[in-house]
Chains A and B, each alone.
Chain A
């Protein structure tokens, strides 16, 4: 390049040309007439530019220059001085870690971008608890909570760690040999290192009492298990192995006994070789689990106990005297015969907060030698001891406690007798609370130790016996925080840090000859001795035992008899209240998380708050109403709940189909006030009614004045007999009849011949055989409606949170929603029949009006709906500016930049999946959530645009993920294997309900599912040809 010469003129050909030379020498070929201008003094002084003008010019140019300097805010990006080895801008890193926050326990992967954790993924290497539910998916956002504590506090004022350490250590030293206890009140850790550390701490300080406290207690189950097996833990259930599942109020698809049972359950629910599991649920609240059951019997908790006792009697062939109504007795008899038929493939579980009930189910499963029941590999994820907590409150009040150090608990919020606790705290000399946020408990303690988020911490957990999981930080502490264990080490004057401590523990006790680095990389580690055919051998042996050694069974039943009789005689006066954790909020520790607040409850579809659920019969007796106001928003009466002296004011009421008459449901996790943003202070605190740590309470309800405005995402509850939206059939028909009968394809008339609608096409199709063609299959049998995918979608795609008011106006922004329908007759099938038999306009009118109302105990169906990516998309043709177009790969694209916001596409979408940005949702001044502050914005996925106002957005089938997969494979020069293509929802779905892939790949799972007999498209007759398809829901109605 440098050798290239451009000729300016012919003269340059001659190197000696004088003109060229002069030109080269003189910058200005002609003399600049400076003298002419400045030399003429006379004219210059006569010039009109006088001093004042000069000052004006100076003034103007200064002003102009300073105005020009006023630019928009500068966002600094500072390059690395020394680039970390692992971080490549634009490339995500994944770290295996563990969430163990005392309520949620799972081995997970964390996706980080440029060092920022931005998403939770399931750890597919984990054999147990490797899946994140909605709360775990959302937990990454809690890391960036702008209300987090940024450093330790002493008496509410910012302090230094050193200061705090000195005070604490001095006090602890003082207490060392005194009468007064040092109490550690903590969450369940299930952590071998922490257990070891606390025992060492005890050695150092002597009089240390470690009390584990679960906000929502599993005390009954733990005690029953402890009594029977000698270990304070919970049995492991694998519902995949069960063919008949009988549940007495066990929410095992949600948080029952620590949760994580749904993926096994789902696998058993997909019909394979003509078989699927049968699930019968006795329960009082309409739960997610009950909604998925083949048969659901609404029953008061007291009657559930009787039914359980009666079932035990029937299975045991002993006579148990219970007074149950005839149809319940009949139901129990049916259940008993189904269990007998299924033998060891049956399992009975209960969620009743009653040691006897828990003991009885353990005995039944033992008796059945249930394959799904495994007491020899117990779960350690709940260890709370409510007696010890009660005793602590007494001890504190009697002055026996000298120091109280709390971690991971918020007793002032979660204790029903919080006032006693606070009185007790006042009598304790030293109180320290480890907490990430300012809360009800930090408010009353002397020292608040700002603790690190789990994504900033080291840790480990033994979730199930022999199944270990490691927690590693995925980001340096954002603030001046320190985790509890590190503090203990500090206070023990240990020079180890907690990382070394864990490493030592693992290397010495757990790992054996496996390397630490490998364990850390995998995040999970399973002790060999535990995996070796454990499930088969232990179970087989137990089968042998129970089958062969009758007398032993007798002996186990002996102590049971008293339990049975107490169950059989259980009674309750008046209304029974069943307290439960919500799918979205759990025990409430993440109440400040906007994703979870806006997450609609899978059953009621209500977001932003809790409510008491009552049956229709009780509601009309008590004068409680639900109504939809003019803009569609749902309103409900307020009520006052009273339990044994404690009362809750202004509890919103939801009339819940399927709620057992005489019962009510109220969820934990809401009603937090302290340290919360005002928008997040939603709902009422159900812990106030959680007396004696029992979920079942006797309650009285009084109607209160006023109406509550709910933010309910789905206002119409029934399917209106539209059987082609959720196609379903029974296992019997599925097994015996041709798919054209139970999966009917709509017909159209073509040349006077009825042909399947799918074969008629107005348009000539493109050649889709080249490249990838993305398809997604959603199995309605495998989907439990848990909603993990909904949050995963939020996190992956930067879906904005819009707040309660907007949700109430039907303006939620969910790209993926899970529709929930109730049947209006007893079953959906009867709905369809009823609709088909309408005769005449009047009957049709009244008939449809009846169908708008859900049945008393309805069938329930869930249907995840996202953009269906129609090959003949109605949205694409109507956009005037071609902002939404189709790709070769089957995706329906949305070009946000091109969108002018006519919303025509949203109107013309038969699935109503398009979402409009009614306002600017980031940096808005209406509603303060994470898109409004720089900290919260750290969760934004840089691969996905944050949409501005006035544009439509919708599911993209995670095009940023599929493109990444394609590019990676291209760079590595290989074919893409099946399973590599994923979306956020398919990744998050541990139940296998959402399968994503390339249908041009003949071998792929999605192609196979596409050719499945159960496959159908949503609203096939509209002719949209979606790339998302569903699998017909099969219900197992085979009565034994």
Chain B
């Protein structure tokens, strides 16, 4: 994927003064660095929620489904609501990686890895529910058409639940393969950077012997394209089939032919919202603002707005058709949905899914990170309620009024749902610490065409490559806008360098600052950026410089002082002599 020409009017997809090495360093940083306290806190919460969910599941399986709030009329509620919700969330991944790949949307490259990871993790959550909602989950394998010793017993191919089994398992496996295929060159990059033997071993294994030869790349491209072609219909098929669980039934409110397209739109809607939620957090925590830019957020917001509008149209169409059909049961089902005892759920659904995304028409709002984050959460709440509304309000008052009743969840219902959220985040947090969270190989492919640095070079009419005679590329060319923006910072920088002395790459060799305890690869890079390359410079640091450094880097305030970098640097200097 050679970098082709991109119109200057297009906004850069990779911000900052990024070269190829920078991309590697930035993306490998969360994997190579140590976990922050926030990560541990969030991980502990997620793990606790997960374990709580495991407890609730064990209780359910050992005692019976009766520990849930279900009854003879409402036989599905939170279980299948959660199932459909998680499957829906799992839709954005394939859409982004496959459909947008086929449509050559370059902006997908920054988000597809995490979107796919999210897909897989949410499909795992989803797949849990059809199993645990069974009365006898230990017989769950009976829904798979495997030869058995029970005589001629076979599955019922008429049942949409069986189609679900096929749809979900196909989707999960194709997504897994697709995801992993994309990961191979990135794992290889981490493998190549890894210096601890264990990590090197692991990343060698998972990168399947990637060498980076031209033949490797060619096959990689081919496989990606083929898998994208395979996965694209799956984006449509999975939720279509999930919707058929309802659409093929005879229950008013379920028996609706609009369901397949409506469910797919809803799935993409909720999937993008979840991607949005996760990436807004991740770009901050993993310092990926240069890769996942406001432009990405805006584009995702537009997708959310469009799919939200489709979903809104579907809601209104359903109401219209119910009225137009003249079928009293159908009419009552929808009237009851909107105005019956569960009116509040319907209101949640309508306001979260239809109304809230509409504010994205305003550019100011759709480029606001805070509002985007809030809306993305609201959308997923709304989509959960959509499934709840469809399932519970249709069932609780169906044909015979004598069977009408209500549903309310028990702590086990709630516990399992929270448990899956915990499980999801456990997986995602582990992923964010061990996997390259951005498809760096792909990002590198557009660096020349869409990277801010190269765009600036191109605009300035300068060559894209300058090879320093000493082999060290000084990174001097900075976007003009950024320079002014950081003018106050550059003042501080100068004052810092004046105190520590400058480093001349022409005459001096840079020291490995990572030897200093407390300076990781990330910090080293930051220091390098500031012009600090040698132990000599570090050794000159005093309280004033520490403070200056803190205000410049704004990471780990007080750390340099605590670890006594200057002292350590002096020691290294002495050792060298």
Contacts and interface: CB of A to CB of B under 8 A. Distances in A.
Given A811-B72, A907-B75, A951 B404 contact: no
A95 B398 CA distance: 45
A450 B335 CA distance: 61
B136 interface: yes
A141 interface: no
Contacts of B161: 878-880, 902, 904
B167 to A, nearest CB: 13
A363 to B, nearest CB: 43
Given A912-B400, A916-B72, A879 B251 contact: no
B339 interface: yes
Interface string B153-168: 1111011111001000
A892 to B, nearest CB: 14
A202 B433 CA distance: 98
Given A632-B406, A878-B161, A919-B64, A900 B401 contact: no
Interface string A872-897: 00100111111000000000000000
A900 B72 contact: no
A917 B406 contact: no
Contact of A631 (B139, B143, B332, B406): B406
Given A882-B154, A912-B398, A919-B64, A715 B72 contact: no
A982 to B, nearest CB: 26
A878 B71 contact: no
Given A880-B162, A910-B251, A950-B135, A716 B401 contact: yes
Nearest to A951: B135
Contact of B159 (A904, A949, A1019): A904
Given A716-B404, A848-B332, A880-B161, A906 B72 contact: yes
Contacts of A915: 72
B142 interface: yes
Nearest to B153: A898
Contact of B249 (A878, A879, A899): A878
Given A630-B408, A878-B161, A918-B64, A907 B249 contact: yes
B72 A912 contact: yes
B159 A878 contact: yes
B69 A810 contact: no
Contacts of B406: 628, 630-632, 715
Interface stretch (A122-130, A403-411, A718-726, A968-976): A718-726
B65 interface: yes
Interface string A834-870: 0100000100110010000000000000010100000
A907 B156 CA distance: 17
Contacts of A632: 71, 396, 405-408
Contacts of B136: 899-901, 949-951
Interface in B388-420: 395-408
Contacts, number: 188
A228 interface: no
Interface size class of A (residues with CB under 8 A): 35 or more
A916 B134 CA distance: 11
A819 interface: yes
Interface in B120-175: 130, 133-137, 139-140, 142-143, 153-156, 158-162, 165
Given A821-B402, A902-B133, A918-B65, A844 B335 contact: yes
A908 B160 CA distance: 12
B143 A880 contact: yes
Nearest to A809: B71
A920 interface: yes
A523 B158 CA distance: 53
B506 interface: no
Given A631-B69, A631-B407, A881-B143, A865 B402 contact: yes
Contacts of B472: none
A817 interface: yes
Contacts of B75: 903-904, 906-907, 916
A721 B154 CA distance: 43
B404 A950 contact: no
A373 B492 CA distance: 114
A964 B366 CA distance: 73
B574 interface: no
Nearest to B150: A898
B411 to A, nearest CB: 13
B37 interface: no
A554 interface: no
Interface in A931-957: 949-952
B250 A1022 contact: yes
Contacts of B399: 725, 910-912, 1019, 1022
A914 B398 CA distance: 14
A247 interface: no
A887 to B, nearest CB: 16
A720 B332 contact: yes
B74 to A, nearest CB: 8
Contacts of B66: 806, 811, 918-919
A880 B402 contact: no
A820 B162 CA distance: 37
A1018 to B, nearest CB: 8
Contact of B71 (A719, A811, A908): A811
Contacts of A722: 328-329, 401
Q: Is the interface of B mostly helix, strand, loop or mixed?
A: loop
B402 A903 contact: no
A506 B96 CA distance: 93
B488 interface: no
For B75, B162, B335, the residue with the greatest tally of chain A CB atoms inside 10 Å of its CB is B75
Interface string B96-136: 00000000000000000000000000000000001001111
A516 B342 CA distance: 68
A720 B333 CA distance: 12
A910 B400 contact: yes
B140 A900 contact: yes
A714 interface: yes
Nearest to A713: B402
Contacts of B336: 848
A812 interface: yes
Contacts of A725: 399-401
Interface in A130-168: none
B350 to A, nearest CB: 15
Interface in B316-367: 327-329, 331-332, 335-336, 339
A906 B161 CA distance: 14
Interface in A707-763: 714-722, 725
Interface string A188-231: 00000000000000000000000000000000000000000000
Contact of A911 (B70, B162, B396, B400): B400
A910 B72 contact: no
Interface string B50-76: 000000000000011110011111011
B542 interface: no
Interface of A: 628, 630-632, 714-722, 725, 806, 809-812, 817, 819-821, 835, 841, 844-845, 848, 863, 865, 874, 877-882, 898-904, 906-908, 910-912, 914-920, 949-952, 1019, 1021-1022, 1024
26 contacts: A630-B406, A630-B408, A714-B403, A715-B405, A715-B406, A722-B401, A725-B401, A806-B66, A811-B72, A877-B156, A878-B160, A878-B248, A880-B159, A881-B153, A898-B142, A899-B135, A900-B137, A901-B136, A902-B130, A904-B76, A911-B400, A912-B398, A918-B65, A950-B65, A950-B135, A950-B136
Interface of B: 63-66, 69-73, 75-76, 130, 133-137, 139-140, 142-143, 153-156, 158-162, 165, 245, 248-251, 327-329, 331-332, 335-336, 339, 395-408
The 3 closest A-B pairs by CB, nearest first: A901-B135, A950-B135, A918-B66
Given A821-B402, A878-B249, 20 more contacts: A632-B407, A632-B408, A715-B404, A715-B405, A715-B406, A716-B402, A722-B328, A812-B72, A844-B335, A878-B159, A880-B165, A881-B153, A900-B142, A903-B65, A906-B72, A911-B399, A912-B72, A914-B72, A915-B72, A919-B63
